[in-house]
């Protein structure tokens, strides 16, 4: 089976722990601030409280004040921001588990990585796959010698074409376009007798290629997509030569 992964998706790490570690690291060792600011700025922080804390640390260090837990707590108290950042106990908790030889740059990088927002829907206009189709009327089979190409649409809750027919020995490429443009509306394409099972994100086109063996094989959606998900199935019919 050939799988063409046009787009690889990444799930970013959750950065709250990294944010806490970076802030704790700076409180333990003020020199770490320069390293951190070389990678991120306060607005890169996800949590409002963390952003405020980093801004205040920067302001204090700019004034030449050594920032430890006590100095920071007092400063936030004076600025009326202490409750907003979760109080003195939350500030103190930033120091929990901060390793002595902290590689603060590493944690700052994690925060940066978290800014990469994963794509949830591939916009139609960005899908440049040569076999992409957006209308069920364009779905169908073309043949060149023994090479068969199936342009297929997946949309709640069916595949088009349904039940397509090829010949034994044909080299079949199925290009599945998920024409949904709704977040989370993924469809699977499972042709399990051929060890094929792919997930196609909204707006994405993926292809699979296999050599047809005679018989009748079901293919179906392998990713729960709607109340009628279980109806989303059809047959590949392979006629003997
Ligand atoms: Cu489904």
Contact between 120 and 184 under an 8 Å Cβ cutoff? The reply is yes
The answer to whether position 4 is within a domain reads: no
Is the same domain home to 38 and 82? Answer: yes
The answer to whether position 145 is within a domain reads: yes
The answer to whether position 135 is within a domain reads: yes
Instruction: Give the integer Cα–Cα distance in Å for 67 and 61.
Output: 7
**Cα-based angle 184, 195, 159 (whole degrees, multiple of 5):** 45
Distance 191 CA to ligand 1 centre (A): 14
Distance 210 CA to ligand 1 centre (A): 22
Q: Which residues contact 107 (CB under 8 A, 6 or more apart)?
A: 18, 21, 22, 25
In tens, the pLDDT along 21-64 reads: 999 999 999 889 999 999 999 988 888 999 999 999 999 999 99
The parent domain of residue 231 ranges over 124-239
pLDDT for 15: 77
β-strands 140-144, 147-155: how paired? Answer: antiparallel
The answer to whether position 6 is within a domain reads: no
Is the same domain home to 89 and 128? Answer: no
Is the same domain home to 133 and 220? Answer: yes
β-strands 2-3, 171-178: how paired? Answer: unpaired
Global pTM reads 0.57
Distance 18 CA to ligand 1 centre (A): 37
Distance 151 CA to ligand 1 centre (A): 18
Distance 215 CA to ligand 1 centre (A): 24
Which residue, of 54, 85, 114, is where some domain finishes? 114
Distance 227 CA to ligand 1 centre (A): 9
Tokens 């043949």 — which residue? 143
Is the same domain home to 78 and 162? Answer: no
pLDDT for 89: 95
Nearest to residue 88, comparing CAs of 105, 104, 102, 75?
A: 75
Tokens of 89: 């106990």
Q: Which residues contact 56 (CB under 8 A, 6 or more apart)?
A: 72, 75, 76, 79, 81
Distance 185 CA to ligand 1 centre (A): 9
Chunked into runs of 10 residues, the chain (241 residues) has average pLDDT values of: 45 70 93 91 90 96 94 96 96 88 87 73 91 96 97 96 96 97 92 96 96 97 93 96 91
Distance 152 CA to ligand 1 centre (A): 15
Distance 233 CA to ligand 1 centre (A): 9
> Residue ranges of the alpha helices (H) in 68-121?
69-78, 87-93, 104-114
Q: Which residues contact 66 (CB under 8 A, 6 or more apart)?
A: 30
Instruction: Give the integer Cα–Cα distance in Å for 114 and 21.
Output: 15
Distance 167 CA to ligand 1 centre (A): 27
Distance 235 CA to ligand 1 centre (A): 15
Which residue, of 86, 114, 142, is where some domain finishes? 114
Distance 229 CA to ligand 1 centre (A): 4
Q: At what angle do helices 32-39 and 16-28 cross, to 10 degrees?
A: 150
Is the same domain home to 25 and 101? Answer: yes
Is the same domain home to 45 and 63? Answer: yes
Is the same domain home to 204 and 176? Answer: yes
Q: How many distinct structural domains can be found in the chain? A: 2
Contact between 92 and 56 under an 8 Å Cβ cutoff? The reply is no
pLDDT for 11: 39
Contact between 178 and 203 under an 8 Å Cβ cutoff? The reply is yes
């Amino acid at each position: 089976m050939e799988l063409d992964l046009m787009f690889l998706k990444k799930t970013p790490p959750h950065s709250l722990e990294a944010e806490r570690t970076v802030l704790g690291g700076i409180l333990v060792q003020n020199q770490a601030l320069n390293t951190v600011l070389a990678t991120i700025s306060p607005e890169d922080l996800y949590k409002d409280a963390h952003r405020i804390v980093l801004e205040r640390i920067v302001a204090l260090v700019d004034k030449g004040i050594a920032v430890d837990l006590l100095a920071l707590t007092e400063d936030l108290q004076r600025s009326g921001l202490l409750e907003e950042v979760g109080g003195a106990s939350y500030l103190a908790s930033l120091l929990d588990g901060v390793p002595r030889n902290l590689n603060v740059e590493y944690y700052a990088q994690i925060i940066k990585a978290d800014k990469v927002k994963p794509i949830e829907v591939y916009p139609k206009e960005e899908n440049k796959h040569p076999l992409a189709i957006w209308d069920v009327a364009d779905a169908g089979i073309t043949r060149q010698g023994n090479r068969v190409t199936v342009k297929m649409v997946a949309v709640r809750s069916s595949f088009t074409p349904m039940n397509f027919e090829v010949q034994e020995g044909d080299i079949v490429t199925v290009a599945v376009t998920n024409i949904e443009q709704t977040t989370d509306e993924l469809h699977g394409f499972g042709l399990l007798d051929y060890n094929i099972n792919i997930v196609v994100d909204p707006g994405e086109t993926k292809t699979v290629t296999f050599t047809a063996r005679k018989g009748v094989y079901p293919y179906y959606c392998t990713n729960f997509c709607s109340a009628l998900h279980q109806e989303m199935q059809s047959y590949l019919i392979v006629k003997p030569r």
